[in-house]
Structures are given as structure tokens and as C-alpha cells.
């Protein structure tokens, strides 16, 4: 499922997309049932409010088959690839050297940018309010449903302001 220009604009403005027709009512009901089972569990990945109400179920795709299938579903993967590709285009145009493969089939929502000192770059970006992580010589940016064009702008601007640390 490719995103339309209107959906891309909406994502850029709001930072999220609502795709009510992405999954059928039957599929949503099955996921809701699985989510309720996860929320009722006592797993360490299940965070709760002080009241005991479920707050977040981290990494459900690693221990629940329905969420593993959801996380790999083409109806979700294709839009993420499209949005990540946009970020990669902008980073490359800004002079960044990427370690992430350009081929959609070989990457997910993470983009790895080569750096002379990835730890220092991560600290400098954090000082600008840009949240990334690092491994070895790479700064790692993840693009999720809550990111938008302003987040990509902030990343590109932060990297450009710290060219001395780009590889």
C-alpha cells in the first residue's frame, strides 16, 4: 500500500496517519484479542500505571505471533519503507554517508548514518532535542508512526551543524 501525496502531506503535518481501511474488522478483532491477552500477562515487557492499568507492551512482536505477523505485514511495511526512503533521500542530499541499504527489502525503519565519533554526535544531537542512538561508527535514527517531517528536518539540521563529526 503506497501512501498518496495527500497522506504524505498529512503525515508531515501531523506526525501520524490514520488508516482505518488498512485492516479488516476481523483482523482488528483478532489483534484486539491478542492485545488483551498481552495486557493480562505478567511479562516484564508489560508496563503498567500505578493503578495497575496497562500502559505499554514493549516488543510484543518478539513473543506474540499475531503481533509478529502484524509487524511484518506488507500493508504496514510499504508505508514505513516509503517514509524511511524519504528520510534517506534528504540525508544523502545533505551530504551524509549512509550505512543503511537503499533497497527497501533490506531495511526497516532505521537509518544508520556514518560518523567519525557516533557517541559525540549522539550527544550533540540530544542537546538539540534530537533523539538517536549509536553503534560503532554509526548514528541510528528510527522513524516511527509518531515522527513527522519536522523530525527529519531537525535530524538533517543537527547533522549539518555538526559536519565535523560526519564520516
Q: What is the CATH number of domain 75-165?
A: 3.90.1150.10
Q: What is the pTM of this model?
A: 0.64
pLDDT the model gives residue 114: 97
Per-residue model confidence as pLDDT tens digits over 52-68 = 888 888 888 899 999 88
pLDDT at residue 128 is higher than 80: yes
Closest CA relative to residue 59, chosen from 50, 68, 51: 68
On whether the CB atoms of residues 119 and 165 are closer than 8 A, the answer is no
Per-residue model confidence as pLDDT tens digits over 10-45 = 877 776 778 888 889 999 999 999 999 999 998 989
Q: Which long-range contacts (CB under 8 A, 24 or more apart) does 4-9 make?
A: 8/82, 8/83, 8/86
Q: Where are the domains of the chain?
A: 5-71, 75-165
Question: Within a 13 Å sphere around the CA of 142, how many CA atoms are in the beta-carbon half?
Answer: 7
pLDDT at residue 105 is higher than 80: no
pLDDT higher for 152 or 98? 98
Amino acid at each position: 500500500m503506497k501512501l498518496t501525496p495527500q497522506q504524505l502531506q498529512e503525515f508531515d503535518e501531523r506526525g501520524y496517519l490514520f488508516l482505518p481501511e488498512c485492516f479488516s474488522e476481523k483482523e482488528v478483532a483478532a489483534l484486539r484479542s491478542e492485545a488483551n491477552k498481552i495486557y493480562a500477562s505478567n511479562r516484564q515487557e508489560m508496563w503498567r500505571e500505578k493503578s495497575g492499568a496497562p500502559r505499554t507492551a514493549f516488543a510484543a512482536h518478539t513473543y506474540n505471533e499475531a503481533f509478529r505477523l502484524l509487524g511484518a505485514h506488507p500493508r504496514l511495511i510499504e508505508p514505513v519503507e516509503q517514509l524511511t526512503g524519504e528520510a534517506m533521500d534528504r540525508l544523502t542530499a545533505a551530504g551524509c554517508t549512509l550505512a543503511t541499504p537503499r533497497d527497501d527489502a533490506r531495511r526497516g525503519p532505521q537509518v544508520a548514518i556514518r560518523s567519525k565519533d557516533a557517541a559525540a554526535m549522539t550527544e550533540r544531537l540530544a542537546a538539540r532535542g534530537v533523539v538517536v542512538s549509536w553503534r560503532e561508527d554509526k548514528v541510528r535514527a528510527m522513524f516511527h508512526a509518531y515522527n513527522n517531517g519536522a523530525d527529519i528536518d531537525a535530524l538533517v539540521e543537527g547533522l549539518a551543524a555538526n559536519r565535523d563529526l560526519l564520516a
